[in-house]
A and B are shown apart, each in its own frame.
Chain A
Amino acid sequence: MSVQHSAAAHIHRDDVASRMGMWLFLFTELLLFGGMFILYSVYRFTHPEDFHLAAKELNTVIGTFNTAILLTSSLTMALSIAAIQRKQKTLSILFQLLTIILALGFMVNKYFEWGAKFHHGIYPGSDTLLSRPSGEILFFGLYYVMTGLHGLHVIIGVVIISFMTVFTIRDVITHDNYVKLESAGLYWHLVDIIWIFLFPLFYLIT
């Protein structure tokens, strides 16, 4: 027992450091996507016509719907943190679960959206796509890679928030120690904000 005690004595908690670490990590995530935004800008600049035509083929309705879903999920995430701060554990768990459900809803929509494109033969390396002008190949290449990587982040976010829910149930996350949940929230808002840029770049600018 005394060994455990001495081990516990050196555990050091610094919420400011945890938050700082998370922000630094978010910078790296932004830069990761930044590389692709550079590619997007360059190719949009060199192939404006093709990008214009290709963008018209994306389903703006699903895109808008997904934007609404993701923004709402950011709200529920923020509310779950507000709830835990006010010692409302059950409410916090409910909001976290709601966030997960909305995230999964986003992925389901994405599945149908990608599925429809595949159905029309538009996917990397397909004959239909390869017969089109190179600007459109680039547009759809970027579309799949960027929304795909974003989708991967959504899935990672779901896993992280699920862990947070378990932590909240087990009282690891409490009203006076919620920095984990806060960091998960920051990550989730990042996923959201990247979508905020992806949505106009692919769906709205035509």
Chain B
Amino acid sequence: MSNENILNSNGNDVSYLEYKGKHTGILGWLLSTDHKRIGLLYLISLSIFLVVGVIFGFLMRLELLTPGRTIMDPQTYNSIFTLHGVIMIFLFVIPGLPAVFGNFFLPILIGARDVAFPRLNLLSWYLYAIGGLLAIISILIPGGPADTGWTFYIPYSIRTNTNVIPALFAAFILGFSSILTGLNFITTVHRMRAPGMDWFKMPLSVWSLYATAWVQILATPIIGITLLLVGIERIFGVGLFDPALGGDPVLYQHLFWIYSHPAVYIMILPAMGVVSEIIPVFAHRTIFGYRFIAMSSIAIALFGSLVWAHHMFTAGMSDTGQLIFSLLTMIVAIPSAIKVFNWVATLYKGSIDLQPPMLYVLAFIFQFSIGGLTGIMQGVLSVDIQVHDTSFIVAHFHYVMFGGTGFGFFAALHYWFPKMFGRMYNIKLAKRVFWALFVGFNTLYFPMFIMGWLGMPRRYYDYLPEYQIYHVISTIGSWILVPALFLMFGNLIYALFKGVRVTEKNIWGGETLEWQVATPPVHENFIDIPVVTESPYQYKDNELVLQTQEAK
């Protein structure tokens, strides 16, 4: 027997990428309960769905280049915007940062060897995979892909003959996956912090993942039951939402948004955590207002759960209800603004090193601010009636979700890539790609604010000629954005195999625990569990770490 060899290759210093457990080869990944490998499984599957979603979005933009038919018929267009929404929301942004970077780094950031329930963690990925597969099946089987929009609004979703049920069921299963991840993270944060790490010594991304996890477990069940009821409605005709049988479709909207509004905080909060993580490292300064940033995550999770009806100001609601939801919507802006001001205050008089992660973070702040402020505009009742269901909303949403979460995701990817894989990407190319992405993004989405304000409805296949100029600019933006995205992935994938090897533990000069472990981390992260004595981000003067230059 070659037990001797196996034992050697499983010594304490073997990286998680080379570790040989009970299973080897592909099974060593598919059956691994190592949170880092599960994180990478998510990264691969999420990236695939991101690319699919991007292609659908690109096709939509192409169709809108000219009024009337450009490349597809209206029914295809309806299906494509539905698929773009369902894939991007349920398969990319919602799992997004927690599933990939949360899984990979949460245990390391709190000084633990794994999450609290490693097998449950693997189950979450399988549920995610099954949900994704179902979504794909709903596209391919006869009947045609769902054409309801990602919101599945009743009564259309119980009348259309397209494959709504597989799509609903996919979202239901993905919700389950999300709940189990949240449950796992909460328990991990409560039970597995390293000795000495009290609540206010946790890195800020842990705070934001913790707040996110609560939203995941408290809001997701509502969408679960709601989507299940739509399915039951379609199959058995129970009548709970169907107006023809006495049901109330507006009630469906309430239940849908009770989850789906908090869900946008599931999407954005982890990205805010990443921003709080990256800014002090590249500004070489201690984070400003640590406790405020930490508590604002909790505040966002709390208030964000109470504002759902601002999606329904035009759906029919009492004036009192409208006023309350309008007020609460404005209140959510406060904790978000606290974060932005603290980030900017951290930058003040910092020694800012514009490495790729930092560029993405700065773009996050810029774009998130635009997205956030236009969000407050929509919270104003009178303005909302003007812009409701126009491309203004689409622009707002993409500024927050793509300009915010998407760029946050890319920031995290560029920040942690060398730690995860022990290789460095081409920094010069990464910076150029960033600028292309930034320009492409703003060219694509900014015109939507203008045409939305002028009255261009969202989700429309056709439009009046006076909107064409904005559509043309926007579509040109997509021609910059999409190639830049592929170039970004190309740069990273190339680096995965051919990038310069990184062995330094702390390439960027970070002060959190992941920079104290080996690069890439060993199978159990820490050979000895660390004892935490200081708060994170305690930067001392002149501690500029310039290994990055050498690595390049």
A residues with a Cβ closer than 8 A to B are: 1-3, 6-7, 10, 12, 14, 16-17, 20-21, 24-25, 27-29, 31-36, 38-39, 42-43, 46-47, 124-125, 130, 133-135, 137-138, 141-142, 144-145
Which B residues are within 8 Å of any A CB, using their own CB? Answer: 3, 6-7, 10, 21-22, 113-114, 116-117, 120, 179, 182-184, 186-187, 190-192, 217-222, 224-226, 229, 232, 236-240, 245-248, 251, 255, 258, 524
Identify which of B218, B240, B246 contacts A39 (C-beta below 8 A).
Answer: B240
Given A2-B7, A31-B218, A39-B251, also A16-B191 (CB < 8 A)? yes
B220 neighbours in A (Cβ, 8 Å) = 28
| Structural contact, B221 and A3, CB atoms closer than 8 A | no
- Asked if A10 meets B218 with Cβ closer than 8 Å, knowing A3-B7, A42-B248, the reply is no
Contact of B246 among A17, A135, A145 (CB under 8 A): A135
Taken together as a complex, chains A and B put the C-alpha atoms of A105 and B242 apart, in Å, by 35
B190 and A20 within 8 A (CB): yes
The contact of B225 among A2, A16, A25, A35, by CB within 8 Å, is: A35
A3 to B21: give the CA distance in the assembly, Å.
8
CB contacts between A and B, total, < 8 Å: 115
Closest-by-CB residue of B relative to A138 is B246
**Chain A residues within an 8 Å CB radius of B10:** 3, 6
* In contact, B116 and A137 (Cβ under 8 angstroms): no
The chain A residue with its CB closest to the CB of B259 is A35
Please tell me which one of the listed residues B21, B190, B222 contacts residue A34 in the complex, with CB atoms under 8 A apart. Answer: B222
Which residues on the A side are within 8 Å of B224 (C-beta)?
A: 32
Among candidates B120, B186, B246, residue contacting A134 with C-beta atoms closer than 8 Å: B246
Report if A35-B255 is in contact (Cβ < 8 Å); known contacts: A1-B3, A28-B221: yes
Provide the bound-state CA to CA distance between A12 and B525, in Å. 15
Q: Which of B236, B246, B255, B524 has the most CB of A within 10 A?
A: B246
* Chain A residues, Cβ within 8 Å of B248: 42-43, 46
Q: Which 7 A-B pairs have the closest CB atoms?
A: A134-B246, A35-B225, A31-B221, A141-B238, A32-B221, A125-B237, A17-B191
Contact across chains for A42 and B251 when beta carbons are under 8 A apart: yes
Known: A17-B191, A32-B221, A35-B226. A25 touches B183 (CB 8 A): yes
Interchain CA distance A68-B21 in the complex, whole Å: 51
Contact A138 B239 (CB under 8 A): yes
Instruction: Give Cα distance in the complex from A28 to B180, angstroms.
Output: 10
Bound together, the chains give a CA A14 to CA B182 distance in angstroms of: 18
Which chain A residue shows the least CB distance to B254? A38
* Neighbouring A residues of B255 by C-beta, 8 Å: 35, 38-39
Tell me the complex Cα distance, A144–B7, Å. 58
Closest to B523 in A: A10
A198 CB, nearest partner CB in chain B, Å? 15
* Contact B117–A21 (Cβ < 8 Å): yes
| Cα distance A28–B221 in the bound complex, in angstroms | 6
Q: In the assembly, what is the distance between CA of A145 and CA of B247, in Å? A: 14
Question: Min CB distance, A154 to chain B, in Å?
Answer: 17
Per a CB cutoff under 8 Å, which of A24, A47, A134 touches B245? A134
Q: How far is the CB of B75 from chain A (nearest CB, A)?
A: 28
Least Cβ–Cβ distance between A146 and chain B, in angstroms: 10
Residue contact A137 to B245, C-beta cutoff 8 Å: yes
Given that A124-B237, A134-B245 are known contacts, is A20 also in contact with B191, CB under 8 Å in the complex? yes
| Beyond A12-B113, A133-B246, 18 extra complex contacts between A and B, CB < 8 Å | A3-B22, A7-B21, A10-B524, A17-B117, A20-B186, A20-B190, A21-B183, A24-B182, A24-B187, A28-B179, A35-B229, A38-B255, A39-B255, A42-B248, A125-B236, A134-B246, A138-B245, A142-B240
Q: How far is the CB of B113 from chain A (nearest CB, A)?
A: 7
B12 CB to closest chain A CB, in angstroms?
10
B236: which A residues are within 8 A, CB to CB? 124-125
A141 touches B239 (CB 8 A): yes
Closest to B183 in A: A24
B22 surroundings in chain A (CB, below 8 A): 3, 7
Shortest beta-carbon distance from B90 to chain A in Å: 17
Q: Which residues of A contact B237 (CB under 8 A)?
A: 124-125
Q: How many Å from the CB of B299 to the closest CB on chain A?
A: 20
Residues from chain A with a CB closer than 8 A to the CB of B232 are 145
CA distance A138 to B241 in the complex (A): 9
Could you say which of A3, A33, A124 contacts B238, with CB atoms under 8 Å apart? A124
- Complex Cα distance A125/B239, Å? 8
B6: A residues at CB distance < 8 A: 3
B261 to chain A, nearest CB (A): 15
Q: How far is it, in angstroms, between the C-alpha of A135 and the C-alpha of B183 when the chains are bound?
A: 38
Chain B: minimal CB distance from A182 (Å):
16
Give chain B nearest CB distance to A179 CB in angstroms: 12
Known contacts A2-B3, A3-B10; is A144 also within 8 Å of B221 by CB? no
Residue of A nearest to B180 (CB): A25
Q: Which of B182, B184, B191, B226 has the most CB of A within 10 A?
A: B191
* 29 A-B interface contacts by CB (under 8 A): A2-B3, A2-B7, A3-B6, A3-B10, A6-B10, A7-B22, A12-B114, A14-B116, A17-B117, A21-B116, A21-B117, A21-B184, A24-B187, A25-B183, A28-B179, A31-B221, A32-B221, A34-B221, A35-B222, A35-B226, A35-B255, A39-B251, A39-B255, A42-B248, A43-B248, A47-B246, A138-B240, A141-B245, A144-B238
Task: For B246, list chain A residues within 8 Å (CB).
Answer: 47, 133-135, 137-138
Which single residue of chain B is at the shortest CB-CB distance from A14? B191
Name the CB-closest residue of B to A39: B240
B430 to chain A, nearest CB (A): 36
Nearest CB in chain A: distance from B36 CB, A: 14
Contact yes or no, B217 A27, CB < 8 A = yes
- Distance in angstroms between the alpha carbons of A31 and B224 in the assembled complex: 10
Q: How far is the CA of A144 from the CA of B236 in the complex (A)?
A: 11
Most B Cβ at <10 Å: residue of A2, A46, A137: A137
CA distance A14 to B114 in the complex (A): 13
The reply to whether B221 and A17 contact each other, CB–CB distance below 8 Å, is no
Q: Which residues of B contact A47 (CB under 8 A)?
A: 246
Q: How far is the CA of A6 from the CA of B220 in the complex (A)?
A: 38
B457 to chain A minimum Cβ distance, whole angstroms, is 30
Known contacts A12-B113, A145-B238; A31 and B191 CB within 8 A of each other: no
Task: Determine if A29 and B191 form an interchain contact, defined as CB atoms under 8 angstroms apart.
Answer: no
Most-contacted residue by chain B among A7, A25, A31, A137 (CB, 10 A):
A31
Assembled-state Cα–Cα distance A125/B258 (Å): 28
Q: In the bound complex, how far is the Cα of B447 from the Cα of A92, in angstroms?
A: 69
Whole-angstrom distance between the Cβ of A175 and the nearest chain B Cβ: 23
A29 to chain B, nearest CB (A): 7
Of the candidates A29, A43, A141, the one having the most CB atoms from chain B within 10 angstroms of its own CB is A141
Does A24 contact B221, Cβ atoms closer than 8 Å? no
| Nearest CB of A to B186, in Å | 6
Q: Contacts of A134 on B, CB cut-off 8 Å?
A: 239, 245-246
CB neighbours of A33 from chain B (8 A): 225
Q: Bound complex: CA of A3 vs CA of B523, how far in Å? A: 14
A130 CB, min distance to chain B CBs, angstroms: 7
